[in-house]
Amino acid sequence: MLSARRSELALRRSKSNAVREFANRMVTDHNAAAAKFKQAVADAKLTPPAEKLDAEHRAILDALKAKNQPSMPTAATTAA
């Protein structure tokens, strides 16, 4: 989930076409995988996990949001 959030942030902030294309691919792939996962969970009649970031991942995303725009794309693609 963190990788998708980082990619969404890169889509909003980056001016680099290469970064935006990569981020868009990440978001698209994550959404497709999430849909398959949700369907598998439903088919198995399991309770789906919470769709929110834990404290550690929230802190990483918050740190990325606080970065200056020029450094953000690199940080977004390399953060843990």
CA distance 31 to 37: 10
The pLDDT value given to residue 17: 93
Tokens 């996990």 map to which residue?
A: 49
Q: Could you tell me the two tokens for 8?
A: 């969404």
CA distance 3 to 73: 12
The pLDDT value given to residue 80: 47
Domain ranges within the chain, ordered by starting residue: 2-78
The pLDDT value given to residue 1: 80
pLDDT tens by residue, the chain, 80 residues: 888 899 999 999 999 999 999 999 999 999 999 999 999 999 999 999 888 889 999 999 999 999 876 555 555 555 54
Distance of CA 12 to the CA centre of its chain: 12
CA distance 71 to 51: 28
Q: What is the pTM of this model?
A: 0.68
Q: Could you tell me the two tokens for 79?
A: 């953060």
